[in-house]
Amino acid sequence: MPLAVTDHEDPSPELLNSLLSANHHFPTTITFKKMPIIKSVNHTGITVVDIERSVSFWVDVMGCKLVSRTNPKGPGAGALTGLNTDTDILIAMLEAPGGHQIELLQYIQPSNVQHYKPKPCDAGTFHLAVNVDSIEESKKAMIEAGCVCHGEAHTFSGISFLYLHDFDGVAIELVQGPSD
């Protein structure tokens, strides 16, 4: 029997965690009385292994503009990210063509970071889709910069798509619209 929290309840995080961690059959359906409304997307954050390499890639290859750099440190930075430990983060904020903000983060502390390279089908993964003039030219430039391409472009309804992964494992989807 699926678990359902009706819209007559305002479940606390504790209630949700206990319900979801209990031995229930899935799929789980949760309906909330109040839903937050997104006004706009502020930025996309990407944790990277080497911030200098990543800034170079996103600026020189992908065409972003470096907007700012910062280096939050200490327990406050750790509390903000949920690490609850002294944290040292190198951050570069970029602006992509079209205005979307991309935040690159390299964690110096804690030092026990792991480098995951999940498959696109793994839950919790994401991809960043970017519009390009030429998938083939973009693919070539990205491969020269160290990206990996596991497939070929596919076209649906006149729009072509291709996935690549950068050297940190970030999935980047190239989207090319129909020719004018």
**Mean of per-residue pLDDT scores for the chain:** 85
Choose among 59, 60, 76: nearest CA to 68.
Answer: 59
- For residues 28 and 47, membership in a common domain is answered with no
- For residues 172 and 141, membership in a common domain is answered with yes
| Residue 116: inside a domain | no
Structural domain containing residue 159: 127-176
How do residues 96-142 score in pLDDT, each as one tens digit?
999 999 999 999 998 888 888 888 888 888 999 999 999 999 999 99
User: pTM to 2 decimals?
Assistant: 0.77
Tally of domains within the chain: 3
pLDDT at 18 over 70: no
Q: How many CB atoms lie within 10 A of CB 174?
A: 22
Q: What's the confidence (pLDDT) of residue 180?
A: 42
CATH of the domain at 85: 3.10.180.10
For the CA atoms of 17, 23, 27, 29, the dihedral, rounded to the nearest 10 degrees, stands at -40
Count CA atoms within 13 Å of residue 18 on its CB side.
5
Q: What's the confidence (pLDDT) of residue 5?
A: 46
For the CA atoms of 38, 40, 42, 44, the dihedral, rounded to the nearest 10 degrees, stands at 80
CB 91 within 8 A of CB 125: no
CB 175 within 8 A of CB 131: yes
